[in-house]
Structure 1
Amino acid sequence: MEDLILMRDNPSCYLEDPIVDLSNPTFLTKDKLCGRKEEVARIESLFMQRSCNGILVSGGAGAGKSQLAYSVMARLTSQTESYFFKSKFDQTKSSIPFSTVGSVFNQLCDEFHQNATESQSTAVRIQLEAALGSQVAILADILPSLFKIMSVDSSATSSEYVDRAMNVSFTLRTFIETVSCYSRRVTFLFDDVQFTVHLNNLNIDGVNELVSQSLNTFPRITRPLALALISKTQGNPLFLHQLLESLRLHGLISFNLNSRRWIWDMDKILNLEVSDSVLTFMVEEMLQLPEELRHVLKISACLGSSIKLRAFDILAPELNVDLRDLLRQVVEKGYMLRAPGERIQFAHDKVQEAAYEMQTDTEKKTNHLNFGLILCLSVIDGDEDELFFLSMSQLNRGDMSSLPTPKRTMIAALNHKAGCRAWELSDFPTALSMHQQGIANLPDDHWSSEYDLSRKLHLSAVEASCSLNNIEVTKELAQVVVRNTRNQDDKLKVSFIASKCLLQCDQLDESREVSSAILKQMNERMKFRLEKMTNEQVLSMKLSKNQDRDKFLLDVYISLVAVMQQSKSSDRRRFPDLGLRMMEITLSNGLTPASGMAFTVLSAVFASAGKADLAYKLAKIALRLSDKFDSNRYRGRASLGLGGFVAWAKEPLRACAEIHLAGKQFADRCGDMVTSFSNQQFYIMYLFCCGTDLEKLQPLLKKQIERAMKREQHFASVSAYGVYWASQFLR
């Protein structure tokens, strides 16, 4: 009866004769998700929940995570007419920095441009410009197709930010939130994230289903074979696919022409010794391939999981091999697959890993170096970012100890170029890695023989490590620069970067010490006489003749102020001194983009002393100065100072709430999450005091509580909790 049901439900598999090339009988293991009914149902359930923003599918290598996620999400998004985009992380990091994430956002740009109405496109453009301002240009490097949606002035990008990583995160988040409001539902699939629906290996029923459908034979007949296979593969789908194909090639599974069905030699299969590791098994299988096919698999494994065919075209003449023909053969054997965009990729990560493990460590390093040198010479002067980063990845994984010093120095310079490009594309880990590789390739006496290149590499590396909040690396690199640079400004710059990194990681005492040391080196002393000036006189003041130095000096003071605001020590008593000195620098030397902060700090001093009128005047000037220089970084802080300290005594509470809402938006644009959080806190409090609809207020409170708990800001979370429960009670 069970056989009849299968014949009715799946006639192509169990009723009709299998379609087999009798000259070379082969079978195809089915793409159907065998033994995954529970996991499929769970993913479907989560997808239909509007509150679910993401699904993580985890499991061991070869368990079928990618196939499960892609098959189910492709079907669900098709049924719901949603956008569906997928991308795969390259664990060798040979591709363009940030391309894995950027590619799916770029595909969304293309689809939205193609399908959106004129009114939808206009609404998205206006909303993005309002939310991001000049920061919209940050997206242009990451998303080339953004120009299809809106015009972008790349020269207008603001270089001012507090946390570059948060800056980029905010712009991408704003982009997807804005576009998704005017388009279909959007689903992204990121494969091989490497960090939920956990995927175990198949059980006996799942293995039997896969074997049954692959051999077009009823499950009751294939069950003994399935039991033998699960004992050798532990139910790992990838291992199972590979073993079935190996059994066919060795004649242990064959097609019987008389009965027109697949048969197998059960005794030999049971006695067959199989490696207990899918990787070892695949290496053993590959070693039986012809030498030329093993060679092209080794080359491909060194280059990455997905490679442009142009890379093989560049390598082929130098290696004296017809790589295109060999690639065609490995594709026919199922080890690699054709991919869109003139690319080729491995059928599975384990296939690449097995091909890579066929080489000794010496072979790997030699191949990486040779491939890198060949590729580099062909693309160094072009604009092919992907091949350039591929060449640098190959060089950095090779053994360069045998290269002469001039060539290693040239590679160090190329690493600096690659690191700067990675920084522009907002891939800070790659930027830091490239700069560190460049430093490693410099000669021992590089601070004397290659001073300019050493200086550039170290300064760039300090900046990249600070963006990653990597304190140890930042401090170590900064100390190297301080010991070796001939430029006093470089010493001050890297010390200030280290101070910022320490502040971002809540190491307040050390941050204060570094900032104080910078001020001492700049011969800073407190000597101030407050002059009587009108608002307009301040706003029309001359600009500083030494903008960079004065802005840097004020930024150091701002960093110290931030330390004191977060510190519980007696350092806060120096707050007035810092504010007065910042004001003196501004009034004596002229205006810079940071000058508004002098008025903000001094405003807080006078507010705490009960001088509300003067404090309000200074806070308003601070905001106007920030507007004058169009500085998101300082606007957010000026808004916080105005609304948080004095505006409540002079303006309606609703107006104060609007000040903080604008301040949060400015802070978000430059990645200043501390100022953003504080502005949002005041915004919610003022809304509550204004009697805002509590149903609208409670979601904001919940989100603020979550942010406070993540940042371990217990006082803020307690105050937000208090307002939340008060709103619950009042309802």
Structure 2
Amino acid sequence: MLISLNREGLLRLSLTRHRWEWDEEKIQSRKLSDDVALFFADNINKLPADVKTALSALSCFGASTDSEVIQALQTHLELKLVEPLNVAVAEGLVYKLDGIYHFCHDKIQQAAYSMIEDVRCLHHMMYGLSLIDLSLETEDAGLLFTAVTQINLGGPFAVQEEQQYSLIAKYNLVAGKKAMAMSDFAIAFAFFEHGMSFLPNNYWQNEYDLSLDLFNLAAKCALTIKNLTSLTMICDQILRNARNPDDMLNASFISMSALTYSKVSEAVHYGLTVLRQLNIDIPDSISQENTMRLIFQTKSKLNEISDEMILNYQIMSDFKKVMAMKFLAELGNALQQVNPDLQPFVTITMVRLTIEHGLSPMSSVGFAYFGGMVGALGDIRGGYRYTKLAKSLLDKTQSNEVAGSVICITTEVLSYVQPQQTAIEYRLQGERIALAAGDIHWACMNKLMYTSSLPWCGAKLSVAKKAFADAGRFMEEHGHLAALSYLKTVEHTVLAFIGDKGQMISDDQLTQSEINKNPYLLVVVYFQKLFLALILNKYYDLKRSAEKFFEVRLPTCNFLTGRVAHAFNGGLASFRIYRETGDPLWAERGRACKQSVLLWREQASLWNFEHKCFLLEAEECYSEGNFENAKVLYDHAISSAGKYKYVNVEALACELAARFYLYLNNSSTAVKYFTLAHDKYFEWGALAKVRTLHEFIQETFKIDLTSPSANGIGISDDDLPSFELKSETRKRSSLGA
């Protein structure tokens, strides 16, 4: 406004009087618009015609535009733009910084844009078409996006020639693919949507291949950005207009993938139906005996083929077989949740198709699952071979599409062989790669497995709490209800240890049909109840949860990281219940769990399993009355857990040793171990447990742990209250801890 007053002589600098002068009466009488945009428009209208044209052209590109775009327009359209924009810079309407033109205010851009209101669609179309050839020639993604965006702002009504409709749809297809390659699926979806809007009349008849490409890729992006309404409409169009069953397969696969987010049972039914149409029959059920026979047959066949030979197989060329592999990979993950007994059959089918028809990107998924199955049957080194082969196949096929899933699945085996604290870091890589590929499902699964493993690795519970909150927001944002159910179940345990309130799934909720359709979720729920009762020392809750847990335990062929926690804590719970009940069934269960952990120690890693073996053996010796061996084994367990950075197990081992010595009426040693347990639980961050243990030590031994001298180390029986714990009293004290 000041510049306009100066231009009209109403505000001027007096060089002789060295001051500003103005005509207040004329300024007050001057009519000014209340709308800032109209005021600027009025000023712009007073500029030369070429400056107005340049400003209106610049306004079509938004608040700022690269000078290279303006130079390209000037060259292609033979229109003066650069020199007039320099005038606009001098007038204070535009400034240029680092080769980019910027409007000085959004209202100036709005005013310039309003000057071409009646023809702006034609301007957008003209500018976009003038830039498109240059963008394709230079393969400049930024220029391509700018050009196609201008065309899309023009819209179908700005198209001047009939043949341009298909051409513009193809431009959007190219831009959408480029955006997908850059992992910007929201932008890609917008390009595909615009491309569909530019398709000519009767496009399914006249431009079938182009239409199929646009709709298939739009469906994939819609799934990634969770636009399920558009996804349903797009897939419906494909299924209604596809000329043959093969052209329906991509849309069917995307529809199945969408169902796995929240309706896993429906996803399984959908996948089985499509596979039958592809002549791949998956039985409704299979006996464990037949499953074992198939696994050993496949393993025997693979032993005759070197990894190098497999890596040199030809690429699978049969489109139906390629798609069958995709459905089998998706089905394998879904079955693991609702019918895990069938999952090995699906995995073996993927391996068989690879051997018979060559490599597909999904071959790496099949071998990753197969490695887990072989490991679960006791051959961890053999399983490790197939997980390494799966990663090599992933490198061979160069498929980011499945990288997230392969990393997630193979890390299950790696978590046995490598230190668990480092192995879980692969899941962060898997999450990033899955997100970059638009694979939200496996991004969620990697995040779930990483977060759920933190408490078992000895990570501070405050760190785990933040990770759970972050993962929960992510899963809610993407609508992955299946992963969220698992996450919330484990999160409750972490919050309970910290002392925060969290709601555990109730027994009434466990009877709901949706939960019972997912047997693995039942396993997780009952195990978390068992583990919580074990740490908080609630015997009756422990017994009730353990009974349910052993009824619904994981199938033999699942080699998940969770099996370690299940076997370890299930074994500790079993020995505890055996001591209380004398029921030999619980001793048998405890020994079976111990044998699993012993096998893993021998074949996999001392780092992950030595301390667990020592503690299970200590509890077994305690249960059998072999007290001298138990004393040694408890100390070994504590030392090993500390050595390998499992502070959670170190705390538990100290507490179990303390209960053991309390049973022996060795008060001074019991206090020592209870105090160590108190300190280690505090280090872990289990503040609720720290409080209850602190109260127990105070009440039982009359010792205040807040006192600097009461560290529990070296306290003799003379320093403790004089009492004799009889058998029944010992049992109650042990329970109360």
Quickly name the TM-score band, shorter chain normalised. Answer: 0.5 to 0.7
Paired position in structure 1 for 2:472: 708
Partners of 2:50 and 2:81 within 8 A in 1: no
Change (3 A) 1:267 1:372: same
Structure 1 residue 298: Cα displacement: 0.9
Q: For 2:91, give the aligned amino acid.
A: K
CA distance in 1, matches of 2:320, 2:164: 38
| Residue 306 of structure 2 is aligned to residue 576 of structure 1 | no
Deviation digits for residues 262-319 of structure 1 (CA, Å, limit 9, x no counterpart): 2444555555554333323322332333333222211111234333444444444675
Q: Which residue of 2 aligns with 1:299?
A: 57
CA apart distance, 1:676: 1.9
User: Structure 1 residue 330: deviation in Å?
Assistant: 1.0
Cα distance in structure 2, aligned partners of 1:394 and 1:634? 38
Residue identity matched to 1:261: R
Distance in 2 between the 1:602 and 1:535 partners? Answer: 9
1:349 aligns with 2:106: yes
What's 1:327 paired with?
A: 85
Could you report, residue by residue, the CA deviation over 1:668-723 in whole angstroms, capped at 9, with x for unpaired residues? 333332222233234312322xxx6x5xx643543334323543532232233245
- Within the alignment, does 1:673 sit opposite 2:433 as a pair? no
Instruction: Answer whether contact 2:122 2:154 (CA < 8 A) is retained.
Output: yes
Q: Deviations over 1:583-617 (max 9, x none)?
A: 2442465275545655776898999xxxx645867
- Residue 407 of structure 2 is matched in structure 1 by 636
User: Hey, what does 1:483 align to over in structure 2?
Assistant: 240
Question: Which residue of structure 2 aligns with residue 339 of structure 1?
Answer: 97
Aligned twin of 2:39: 281
Within 5 Å, which residues of 2 pair with 1:83-162?
none
Task: Show the counterpart of 2:128.
Answer: 372
Write the distance in 1 (CA, Å) between the matches of 2:273 and 2:93.
60
Given that residues 597 and 622 in structure 1 are in contact (C-alpha distance below 8 angstroms), is that contact kept between their aligned partners in structure 2? Answer: no
Of residues 671-680 and 512-521 in structure 1, the stretch that sits farther from structure 2 once superposed is: 512-521
Q: Deviations over 1:325-376 (max 9, x none)?
A: 21221111011122324x433223332122101222x310121222233333
Deviations 1:544-581 (A, max 9, x none): 87476555434324434544566xxxxx2x32124323
- Which residue is equivalent to 1:446? 203
Matching residue's letter, 1:519:
L
- Give the secondary-structure state (helix, strand or coil) at the position aligned to 1:414: helix
Please state whether the residue corresponding to 1:408 is helix, strand or coil.
helix
* Superposed CA offset, 1:485-524 (max 9, x none): 33433311122123224434x3546544543442242233
Partner of 2:3: 245
Distance 1:724 1:615, change over 3 A: farther
Q: 1:337 to 1:587 in 2, by over 3 A?
A: same
Please list, as runs of the form range in 1=range in 2, the aligned pairs for 1:201-212 lying within 5 A after superposition: none
**Are the equivalent residues in 1 in contact too, given 2:216–2:251 (CA < 8 A)?**
yes
Distance apart, 1:637 and its partner CA: 2.8
Q: Map 1:410-559; keep pairs closer than 5 Å.
A: 410-504=167-261, 506=262, 508=264, 511-527=267-283, 529=290, 530-531=293-294, 532-533=296-297, 537-538=301-302, 541=305, 546=316, 549-550=320-321, 552-559=323-330
The corresponding residue for 1:194 is none
Q: 1:439 to 1:640 in 2, by over 3 A?
A: same
CA distance in 1, matches of 2:149, 2:280: 46
- For 2:40, the aligned partner's letter is M
Paired letter, 2:490: A
CA contact (8 A) 1:594 1:634 kept: no
**Per the alignment, do residues 544 and 372 of structure 1 end up closer, same or farther by CA in structure 2, a change over 3 Å counting?**
closer
- Which residue does 1:406 correspond to in 2? 163
CA offsets 1:407-438 (integer angstroms, 9 cap, x no match): 32222222222222232233323322222222
1:187 maps to which residue? none
- Could you tell me how far 1:724 is from its partner in structure 2? 4.6
Q: Quick one: which amino acid aligns to residue 720 of structure 1?
A: V
Query: Cα deviation per residue 1:215-246 (whole Å; 9 max; x = unaligned)?
Result: xxxxxxxxxxxxxxxxxxxxxxxxxxxx3333
Q: Which amino acid aligns with 2:404?
A: R
Contact 1:660 1:682 in 2 (8 A): no
Whole-angstrom CA distance in 2 between matches of 1:640 and 1:378: 46
More deviation, 489-498/388-397: 388-397
Question: More deviation in 289-298 or 376-385?
Answer: 376-385
Structure number with greater CO (CA < 8 Å, separation at least 6) is 1
| Contact preservation (8 Å) 1:704, 1:720 | no
Decide whether aligned partners of structure 1 residues 487 and 327 sit closer, same or farther in structure 2, where only a CA change above 3 A counts: same
Amino acid at match of 1:638: I
- Give the direction of change, closer, same or farther, for the CA distance of 1:563–1:273 in structure 2 (3 Å limit): farther
RMSD: 3.7
2: CA distance between counterparts of 1:244 and 1:279?
Answer: 16
- The answer to whether the 8 A contact 1:481-1:494 is kept is yes
Structure 1 unmatched runs, 5+: 1-242, 567-571
CA contact 1:296–1:327 (8 Å) conserved in 2 = yes
What is the distance in 2 between the residues matched to 1:588 and 1:328? 66
**1:392 alignment partner in structure 2:** 148
Structure 2 spans left out of the alignment, 5+ residues: 396-402, 436-441, 477-483, 500-680, 691-737
Residues 640 and 678 in structure 1, CA contact (< 8 A), matched pair in contact too = no
| 8 Å contact kept, 2:367–2:390 | no
Q: Tell me the distance in 2 between the aligned counterparts of 1:296 and 1:500.
A: 49
Say whether the 8 Å CA contact 1:639–1:663 is kept in structure 2: no
Q: 2: CA distance between counterparts of 1:492 and 1:618?
A: 35
Hey, what does 1:719 align to over in structure 2? 493
For 1:180, the equivalent position in structure 2 comes to none
Of 13, 19, 22, the match for 1:255: 13
Q: Per the alignment, do residues 600 and 429 of structure 1 end up closer, same or farther by CA in structure 2, a change over 3 Å counting?
A: closer
Rounded to whole Å, the distance in 1 between the matches of 2:119 and 2:301 is: 72
Q: Is the 8 A contact 1:684 1:701 kept in 2?
A: no
1:414 partner letter: Y
% same residue: 21
Distance 1:704-1:617 versus aligned 2 partners, 3 A rule? same
Amino acid paired to 1:577: L
1:522 partner letter:
L
1:662 aligns with: 426
Measured at CA, do residues 295 and 716 of structure 1 come closer, stay the same or move farther in structure 2, by a change above 3 Å?
Answer: same
Distance in structure 1 (CA, Å) of the matches to 2:231 and 2:84: 47
Aligned to 1:687: 457
Q: Deviations over 1:146-177 (max 9, x none)?
A: xxxxxxxxxxxxxxxxxxxxxxxxxxxxxxxx
Query: CA 1:273/1:536 → structure 2, altered by over 3 Å: closer, same or farther?
Result: farther
Distance in 2 (alpha carbons) for counterparts of 1:316 and 1:377: 15
Aligned partner letter, 1:526: I
